[in-house]
Amino acid sequence: MTLSFGRPFLAIPGPSVMPDRVLAVMHRPGPNIYEGELVEMMPDLIEGLRGVARTRHDVAIYIANGHGVWEAALANVLSEGDKVLSLCTGRFGHGWNEIAEALGIEVQVEEFGMRAPVDPDRVEAALRADKDHKIRAVLMTHVDTSTSILNDVAAVRAAIDAVQHPALIMADCIASMGCDRFEMDAWGVDVALAASQKGLMVPPGVGFVFFNDKAIAARARLGRVSRYWDWTDRANPEVFYQYFAGTAPTHHLYGLKEALTMIHEEGGMEAVWNRHAHLARAVWAAFETWSQDGPLELNVANPAHRSCAVTSIRIGAPHGTMLRRWTEEKTGVTLGIGLGMDSEEDPNADGFFRLGHMGHLNAPMVMGALSSIQSGLIALDIPHGDGALDAAARVIAEA
Ligand SMILES: *Cc1c(COP(=O)(O)O)cnc(C)c1O
């Protein structure tokens, strides 16, 4: 039998759960794209996005997923033959490198593996060795969604400044924005990337590139920029269609406006970050308890280096895939695959799974996902420590 009838729960690290309120505002006839409500709501929407990224600088909005804004960001500050230093802590760091290489950019990879965060000392050493300042930008993922590693962006900024290197710092915040604390201006980030379908609670299809004055100066150096990716008019349009270099993503904008209203109603970013941090601690308490016996293990050992948006778990092949299939079929909870964790011994990454805990999420959703995992561990006879749900409930009780 199955106990999955009822509301399904997509507990993967993006696309995340879409609030009914977001879906409801999108259920409407198409608006006029030349004047009226849609055009008039843009300044508030931009202001709301600035608040989420903690910046007073510009933002360009693209009808694109994360891969799109990866390319958009690079295309505005780099051209063929330029060099970047890329700090990799998982699959997504390498994904951005692939986009850069396809644009003819030379990528120097600093690899930190799948279980440890970026080490700022190594960044400093790599930049110190770049005596003639060939490296034009440092690319990093704030949270790599494959490994669930949280990187210290401000510490990388400090490493760049320590050697007085002129490179831009460009941060992929696609998984983290709206979940893990991120302060673009205070941390000295030049370019930050986000997408609609993770912490921002909107369906996939819209991406954001935030950029400061130093990034604008880098843009000015380029002889030629793709007309479509160029952020100049998008961020400061004279007429509405320039925001999107064509027709606006009308319904996504209504959804985004509602999501930003929800963030505001919750009490702004501090409240949203606190909720994520608290729920993440409940998730970790459960996984740490399960890991006391049997094969289950958190991918990131040190809580200080764990994201509040997603948790990557090692459980040994084939337990990861079996557990995912069990929770989906029997309880209606869909867990994330072990993305980028494949190896020769485990070519399909069957020994991994991920739990997304980003965006529109509250205590019963987290407890529901955790109790489904608990049931799966029991049903599949996977050895595990006792008391995980109690441990999570105790963290919830501290709220
Ligand atoms: C999801 C994600 C991406 C890719 O986004 P797509 O919308 O799937 O193209 C890139 N980077 C990070 C950190 C992500 O979490």
Residue nearest to atom 10 of ligand 1 (CA): 66
Instruction: Looking at the CA of residue 204, tell me the nearest atom of ligand 1.
Output: 7
- pLDDT of res. 330: 98
Instruction: Looking at the CA of residue 142, tell me the nearest atom of ligand 1.
Output: 13
Distance in Å, CA 51 to ligand 1 centroid? 21
Measured distance CA(77)–CA(86) in Å, rounded: 15
Distance in Å, CA 172 to ligand 1 centroid? 8
- pLDDT of res. 95: 98
Closest CA to 171 of 91, 92, 111: 92
Residue nearest to atom 15 of ligand 1 (CA): 175
Beta carbon of 180 within 6 Å of any ligand 1 atom: no
CA dist 49 to 44, 187, 193, 357, Å?
9, 17, 12, 21
Q: Which residues contact 334 (CB under 8 A, 6 or more apart)?
A: 8, 9, 10, 11, 12, 324, 327, 328
Residue 112's φ and ψ, nearest 5 degrees, are -110, 5
Strands 9-11 and 83-88, by their bridges, are unpaired
Closest CA to 96 of 59, 140, 150: 140
For the chain, report the end-to-end CA distance as a whole number of angstroms.
36
Residue nearest to atom 9 of ligand 1 (CA): 66
Distance in Å, CA 66 to ligand 1 centroid? 5
Residue nearest to atom 3 of ligand 1 (CA): 66
Q: Which amino acid is at 120?
A: P
Beta bridge partners of 352: 314
Measured distance CA(87)–CA(59) in Å, rounded: 24
Beta carbon of 208 within 6 Å of any ligand 1 atom: no
Closest CA to 306 of 46, 90, 76, 4: 90
- pLDDT of res. 77: 98
Task: Look up tokens 């030379």; give the residue.
Answer: 106
CA dist 354 to 147, 373, 377, Å?
9, 11, 15
In a mutational test of the pocket of ligand 1, which residue from 63, 145, 147 has the highest number of ligand atoms less than 8 Å from its CB?
Answer: 145
Closest CA to 175 of 138, 203, 200: 200
- pLDDT of res. 301: 98
- pLDDT of res. 233: 97
Beta carbon of 62 within 6 Å of any ligand 1 atom: no
Q: Which amino acid is at 175?
A: A
- pLDDT of res. 89: 98
- pLDDT of res. 251: 98
Positive/negative CA dihedral, 38, 42, 44, 48:
positive
Beta carbon of 172 within 6 Å of any ligand 1 atom: yes
Distance in Å, CA 106 to ligand 1 centroid? 22
Token pair listed for 226: 């793709």
Task: Look up tokens 């997509």; give the residue.
Answer: 10
- pLDDT of res. 127: 98
- pLDDT of res. 27: 98
Beta carbon of 14 within 6 Å of any ligand 1 atom: yes
pLDDT in tens, the chain (399 residues): 999 999 999 999 999 999 999 999 999 999 999 999 999 999 999 999 999 999 999 999 999 999 999 999 999 999 999 999 999 999 999 999 999 999 999 999 999 999 999 999 999 999 999 999 999 999 999 999 999 999 999 999 999 999 999 999 999 999 999 999 999 999 999 999 999 999 999 999 999 999 999 999 999 999 899 999 999 999 999 999 999 999 999 999 999 999 999 999 999 999 999 999 999 999 999 999 999 999 999 999 999 999 999 999 999 999 999 999 999 999 999 999 999 999 999 999 999 999 999 999 999 999 999 999 999 999 999 999 999 999 999 999 999
Closest CA to 316 of 370, 353, 355: 353
Task: Kindly report whether the global pTM for this prediction surpasses the value 0.85.
Answer: yes
- pLDDT of res. 218: 98
Measured distance CA(181)–CA(174) in Å, rounded: 13
Q: How many residues does the chain have?
A: 399
What burial letters (b/e) apply to 145-163, b meaning 16+ CB within 10 Å?
bbbbbbbbbebbbebbeee
Reduce the secondary structure of the chain to three states and give it as a string: CCCCCCCCEEECCCCCCCCHHHHHHHCCCCCCCCCCHHHHCHHHHHHHHHHHHCCCCEEEEECCCHHHHHHHHHHHHCCCCCEEEEEECCHHHHHHHHHHHHCCCEEEEEECCCCCCCCHHHHHHHHHHCCCCCEEEEEEECEECCCCEECCHHHHHHHHHHCCCCCEEEEECCCCCCCCCCCCCCCCCCEEEEECCCCCCCCCCCEEEEECHHHHHHHHHCCCCCCCCCCHHHHCCCCHHHHCCCCCCHHHHHHHHHHHHHHHHHCCHHHHHHHHHHHHHHHHHHHHHHCCCCCCEECCCCHHHECCCEEEEECCCCHHHHHHHHHHHHHCEEEEECCCCCCCCCCCCCCEEEEECCCCCCHHHHHHHHHHHHHHHHHCCCCCCCCHHHHHHHHHHCC
Beta carbon of 67 within 6 Å of any ligand 1 atom: yes
Distance in Å, CA 274 to ligand 1 centroid? 23
Distance in Å, CA 390 to ligand 1 centroid? 33
